Amino acid sequence: MIDRIIQFIFFGNFFVGLLAIALSIETAVQLNVPFNNTAYYLLLFFATMAYYTYAYVHVTVSARHHNPRTRWYHEHRAFVRWNLKFSVLLSVLLVIYLLYHDFTHLRQLHWAYWLIMLLVVSAGFLYYGLLPKSIIRLNIRDTGLLKSFIIGFVWASCVNLFPLVMLKLEGHLYTPDPFLVAWLFIKTFMFCTVNAIMFDIKDYAEDANRSLKTFVVRFGLRNTIFQILIPLLLVGVLAMVIFAYYRHFGYIPLLINILPFALSLLVAYSMHKRQNILYYLIVIDGLLLVKAICGVVAMQFF
């Protein structure tokens, strides 16, 4: 029973929707700006869940498929399709509500905010190759090395920049430090990119058979861990120390902010052994939740 509940939460992408909300709350706390309204957080939850469900909605495999996640989607395909339609419908209704409620501010939005939204939405569509083929023939999921960086960019934009755009639409007057916004974006971008590279490890055999040149396929498991993941995380820790010195963070906030990076180093090192799919979903995705919690807690000591 407990296993089924865990599978429902993680395979059904409910947890990833909660992660998007948690990271957006971290943004508000770390930048010292107001929280977004409830409708926006609901939109973020359902849109994220729909986005990740779309990849599996057309899965048709044998019930004996070796991948438990793929098998779960096959066994629950009726629920998966209903969940996708329901999430998309709610997302559309919430977008209409937000646009209608904030239409006056929408017309006054600076072009830079429009550019941010256009870039992120375009990257999201390109990830699945949803743009018309007459415009561009590109499916980022099949590009190998580029995929992880696009995932990191979309996540960082959605949880660090979109909340600020939404606050402008809501008519809030705030002046976050541009340097702090840039640092938070880069930190999240790096963290989510590393997270995505870790996830590619679980698909190593399948990607190799498809000749999809992800980091782990091109460089091997050990080299990916020790020459890519661990150096990227160490660079992130160094950047954190430099930024903390510049902002006079103090030791306690610094150590709390470094904790997710330290845990990621441990998880990256542990991945030289192949793990169960739920390990990747619970532990690796869980690192994003730890990052959000540490980001909020650290600011209580700043």
Residues 38-62, mean pLDDT to the nearest whole number: 82
For the cut 90, the answer to whether the pLDDT of residue 65 exceeds it is no
For the cut 50, the answer to whether the pLDDT of residue 94 exceeds it is yes
**Of 158, 164, 155, 229, the residue nearest 192 (C-alpha):** 155
Residues 102-128, mean pLDDT to the nearest whole number: 73
Residues 39-66, mean pLDDT to the nearest whole number: 78
Give the range with max mean pLDDT: 78-92, 100-114, 240-254.
78-92
Q: CA-CA distances (angstroms) from residue 178 to 29, 122, 174, 188?
A: 15, 24, 12, 15
Q: What is the pLDDT of residues 213-271, one digit of tens each?
A: 677 777 777 888 888 888 888 887 887 787 777 777 788 888 898 899 889 888 887 87
Structure tokens at 298: 């650290």
Cβ–Cβ < 8 Å for 83, 53? yes
Residues 175-187, mean pLDDT to the nearest whole number: 82
Sign of the C-alpha dihedral computed for residues 237, 241, 247 and 249 taken in this order: positive
Residues 11-20, mean pLDDT to the nearest whole number: 91
Q: Residue 277 — very low, low, confident or very high, per pLDDT cuts 50/70/90?
A: confident
For the cut 80, the answer to whether the pLDDT of residue 273 exceeds it is no
Amino acid 227: pLDDT:
83
Sign of the C-alpha dihedral computed for residues 284, 285, 286 and 290 taken in this order: positive
pTM value > 0.75: yes
In whole angstroms, give the CA distance from residue 135 to residue 123. Answer: 14
